[in-house]
């Protein structure tokens, strides 16, 4: 019985060591992969200063905003064909119902699962480079 307990203890130590090693490698890989990416640190009460294009529209990732009201005018997105561009926040917000009744109407109108097709813009906010379907039912 002592032998079994000893082997179990050795196995437990070995398993823990392997788990720590794998975690360290994965953590290193994630850190290395993000090494060149700019980091946005948002403190409580801070508002992100998104860059602006020539027209004065802000652009960037909605993930950097603290609230939906702080989102940029042009929100980064990947088009249906894989192109990277921006969706207009105003276009995205048009799909937000103003009441429970309107939500039900919108839901019923989209029962086919097709979603809404929005234009995908370049950083200038005027050049259409593709499209993005939002609200599409999962396959």
Note the pLDDT tens digit of each residue in 44-88: 556 789 999 999 999 999 999 988 889 999 999 999 999 999 999
* In the predicted structure, residue 122 carries a pLDDT above the cut 70: yes
3-state DSSP assignment of residue 50: coil
What is the structure's pLDDT at 87?
Answer: 97
What is the structure's pLDDT at 129?
Answer: 98
pLDDT in tens, 6-19: 545 544 444 444 44
CA atoms within 13 A on the CB side of 27: 6
What is the structure's pLDDT at 60?
Answer: 95
Contact 92, 134 (CB under 8 A): yes
Strand partners, 88: 74
**For the chain, first and last CA: distance in Å?**
54
Q: Give the DSSP letter of residue 138.
A: P
Please state whether the predicted TM-score (pTM) of the whole model is above 0.85: no
What is the structure's pLDDT at 90?
Answer: 93
Between CA 4 and CA 55 the distance in angstroms is 73
Q: Kind and range of the H or E element at 18?
A: helix 2-33
What is the pLDDT averaged over residues 89-105?
87
What is the structure's pLDDT at 33?
Answer: 45
| CA angle (58 as vertex; 63, 77 as ends), nearest 5 | 45
pLDDT in tens, 17-42: 444 545 544 444 444 444 554 555 55
What is the pLDDT averaged over residues 103-114?
77
């Amino acid at each position: 019985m002592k032998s079994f307990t000893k082997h179990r203890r050795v196995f437990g130590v070995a398993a823990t060591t392997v788990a720590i090693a794998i975690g360290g490698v994965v953590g290193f890989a994630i850190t290395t992969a993000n090494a060149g990416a700019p980091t946005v640190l948002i403190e409580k009460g801070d508002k992100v200063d998104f860059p602006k294009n020539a027209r004065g529209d802000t652009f960037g990732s909605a993930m950097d905003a603290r609230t939906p009201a702080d989102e940029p005018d042009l929100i980064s997105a990947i088009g249906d064909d894989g192109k990277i561009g921006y969706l207009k926040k105003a276009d995205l917000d048009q799909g937000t119902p103003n009441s429970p009744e309107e939500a039900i109407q919108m839901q019923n109108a989209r029962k086919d699962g097709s979603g809404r097709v929005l234009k995908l813009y370049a950083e200038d906010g005027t050049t259409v480079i593709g499209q993005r379907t939002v609200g599409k039912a999962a396959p």
